[in-house]
Structure 1
Amino acid sequence: MNTITHTEESSVLIVDEMHLSILAMLEAVGLKPDYQPKIKRQEIIDIIANYEGLIIRSKTKVDEELLLPATRLKFIGRAGAGLDLIDETIVNKKNIKIFAANEGNRVAVAEHIIGMLLCLMNNIMIADTQVRAGKWLREENRGYELLGKTVGLIGYGNNGMETAKRLAAFGCKVLAYDKYKDNFSDAYAQQASMEEIYAYADILSLHIPLTDETFQLVNQEFLGRFAKNIYFINASRGEIASLEAIWQGLQSGKILGACLDVLENEKLNQLTESQKNVFEQLIKSEKVVLTPHIAGWTHESYVRINEVLVAKIQQMFS
């Protein structure tokens, strides 16, 4: 790697748990990492003026209060996908670059989605529990194949494209809608309007960031537009889909089953009364597969995210 020219003694403050390979990678390009994964918010504010770079994962909200004293900061690295924790308006005003490692976990997310979907459509979790309990129920667990199903993807960035590759390999027809891209049809997915997805999708999967525009996008009105009853997948951000709407969809049959890697509120000990009521219903349902926001959380992606971030930081300095 080429060495980065910089002047500060301590260059990069890392405030979240990271694979420790990040330290050697940053040093190899001439940056001095300061790894403080247990640091508190006020402590960051107190020392941020000493650093050229800040690397976060999902613990730290980067807003005006935190950035006000950051007079030397040149870049913020997000170890993962999605920038909803970062106030991009303030960051842009201060001419600070933002890097996200979207490419780093796209394979992990895509594989996880396929795994959840296969579990759901083939009753794998239900059958496993039954066999362990001494029940051998074959006909009751007859499943459905992915072959021939039409999958609608909302968002066709890194995760959307990687997921489309795997779905296409199963013989699915993949329709993709992306408000911010055009002419992106490829060997794995066909560009489509939302109207086409509403009309033809058997399965819906979200691959979009959380923004003011996408907050609570999936509600009862949205789900009511689908011509077919659908399987629903959310491995993006929980706040994009109303859990109440998902539960209502499961009860009515509009949602045949749901794969949820993310929830509106992932702090399960801090649920509101209404969130708790819905969550208690979801965890009882055999039509729901739940995982704790781990779709991009493989051993391989843990290292790959570091590689992507450091490559982007190096490119900025060079």
Structure 2
Amino acid sequence: MKKVVFLDTVHPVLAERLTQSGEYECIEAHEWTREVCEERLGDVHGIVIRSRFTMDESFLQFAPNLEFIARSGAGMENIDEAYCTQRGITLYNAPEGNRNAVGEHALGMLLSMMNKIHTSNRDVKNGIWEREGNRGVELDGKTVGIIGYGNNGKAFAQKLRGFDVTLLAYDKYKTGFGDEFVIEATLEAVLRKSDVISFHIPQNDETIYFADQEFFDALGKPIYLLNLSRGKIVETKSLIDSIQKGTTIAAGLDVNEFEKKSFENFFESEQNEALKFLLHSDKILLTPHIGGWTHESYYKLSYVLADKILGIDLFDSQSHLY
């Protein structure tokens, strides 16, 4: 029987299904320190992780029998994929599990910004009945640009189908995905024509600070910006400059470049001026990296990983979950 250690807490359905298969012994290792891992990974065949440790050579060298790493989530930036390929370690992630949650969260952030729901709520609770200052803008008739048309980008597009909007999508690595709802577009067209731009791309060497000064300078009109991918996709200083110039009307950030692995300690470090701007500007809507973190997605992420590890086709499983 193969050993699988759970280095992070995930929904128990993953361990339940792996155990029921009769192939795997699941071991809770949520409290293992790095030192304990180094001592106990020698006979381990699988690792389940969210973000607690970086899966690189310095860590994985202590797991000579490792066959797979299952990441409960979509992003793989904390895993050295090249090293794992060299070792023959299979990598699993679960973007199918939280894509619906991300799509809904993106739509919620966009409507809140455009209709000033967040500032209206704050004002009323502070005894301020401000109608004109909280006058909203309608989404209908706008052009929405989606950068990255994978699981999450497509899910956001699906949520927008009930609105009278034009959907433009750009993906560097995909072609031929245009249909009656989405127009496949160049990056230049997305920047020039969009009223809303939403990021749904992974973080890698090519995408860090994708939204930099050059990006904002290329905008054809003022935009609402959404980032539900990774914090370092958007360069904060360039975003702030764009907001101050009026080329960005408002930004909804579920992630930001100042996040750390331990999000719970986010506010304990000294805050620089850019972070202070994010925290205090009415033109910035912030959420604590919860776009893909619903009660439903918590279950679905683990269910998807179980399907993949056990070799079950997602479409033959409870596909309605995804």
**Normalised by the shorter chain, which TM-score bucket?**
over 0.9
2:263 paired residue number: none
In structure 2, list runs of 5 or more residues that go unmatched. Answer: 261-265, 313-322
- Corresponding residue for 1:244? 237
- TM-superposed CA distance for 1:68, in Å, is 1.3
1:264 match: 257
Q: After superposing the two structures, state which structure 1 stretch, 131-140 or 156-165, moved more.
A: 131-140
Matched, 1:21 2:17: no
SS of match in other structure, 2:250: strand
Closer, same or farther: CA 37–133 of 1 in aligned 2, 3 Å:
same
In the alignment, the residues of structure 2 paired with residue 93 and residue 24 of structure 1 have an alpha-carbon distance, to the nearest angstrom, of 31
Query: Which residue matches 2:215?
Result: 222
Q: Give 2:63's aligned amino acid.
A: A
Paired with 1:92 and 1:255, the residues of 2 have a C-alpha distance of 41
CA deviation string 1:285-315 (max 9, x = no partner)? 1111000100000000000000100000001
Pairing of 1:189-208 with structure 2 (within 5 A): 189-208=182-201
Q: For 1:165 and 1:235, locate their aligned partners in 2 and report how far apart those are by CA, in whole Å.
A: 16
Given the alignment of the two structures, is residue 301 of structure 1 paired with residue 293 of structure 2, yes or no?
Answer: no
Offset at residue 72 of structure 1 (A): 1.2
Tell me the distance in 2 between the aligned counterparts of 1:172 and 1:48. 52
Counterpart position of 2:163: 170
CA distance in structure 1 between the partners assigned to 2:33 and 2:80 by the alignment: 19
Alignment of 1:132 with 2:135, yes or no, is no
Task: Identify the range of structure 1 (35-44 vs 258-267) with the bigger mean alpha-carbon deviation.
Answer: 35-44
CA distance in 2, matches of 1:283, 1:166: 28
CA distance in 2 between counterparts of 1:18 and 1:24 reads: 11
Following the alignment from structure 1 to structure 2, what is the Cα–Cα distance between the partners of residues 191 and 28?
Answer: 44
Post-superposition offset of 1:282:
1.8
In structure 2, distance between residues paired with 1:13 and 1:66: 14
Q: Which amino acid aligns with 1:195?
A: E
Cα offsets for 1:35-84 (capped at 9, x unmatched): 12122222222211221111110111000011113221111101001100
The residue type equivalent to 1:109 in the other structure is V
1:310 is the counterpart of 2:306: yes
Matches within 5 A, 1:51-90: 51-90=44-83
Q: Which moved further from structure 2: 30-39 or 176-185?
A: 30-39
Query: Unaligned regions of 5+ residues in structure 1, if any?
Result: 1-6
TM-score by length of 1: 0.93
Instruction: Write the distance in 1 (CA, Å) between the matches of 2:180 and 2:202.
Output: 24
Q: Which residue of 2 aligns with 1:3?
A: none
Alignment TM-score, normalising by the size of structure 2: 0.92
In 2, distance between residues paired with 1:39 and 1:244? Answer: 38
Aligned partners of 2:268 and 2:210: how far apart in 1? 23
Give the Å deviation of 1:184: 0.6
Counterpart AA for 2:17: M
Shift of 1:270: 6.2
Q: Determine if the alignment matches structure 1 residue 114 to structure 2 residue 144.
A: no
Q: Secondary structure at the match of 1:98?
A: strand
Q: What amino acid maps onto 2:14 in structure 1? A: I
Letter of the structure 2 residue corresponding to residue 76 of structure 1: I
Q: Tell whether the 8 Å contact from 2:249 to 2:283 is kept in structure 1 after alignment.
A: yes
RMSD (Å), alpha carbons: 1.6
For 2:133, give the aligned amino acid. Answer: E
CA offsets 1:82-126 (integer angstroms, 9 cap, x no match): 100000011000001000001000000011111111111101011
In 1, distance between residues paired with 2:255 and 2:59? 27
Give the 3-state SS of the residue equivalent to 2:113 in structure 1: helix
Distance 1:163 1:75 in 2: 30
Q: Does 1:97 align with 2:93?
A: no
Q: In structure 2, the residue corresponding to 1:51 is in which secondary structure? A: coil
Amino acid at match of 1:252: K
1:26 offset after TM fit, Å?
Answer: 1.5
Stretch of structure 1 that moved more, 196-205 or 259-268: 259-268
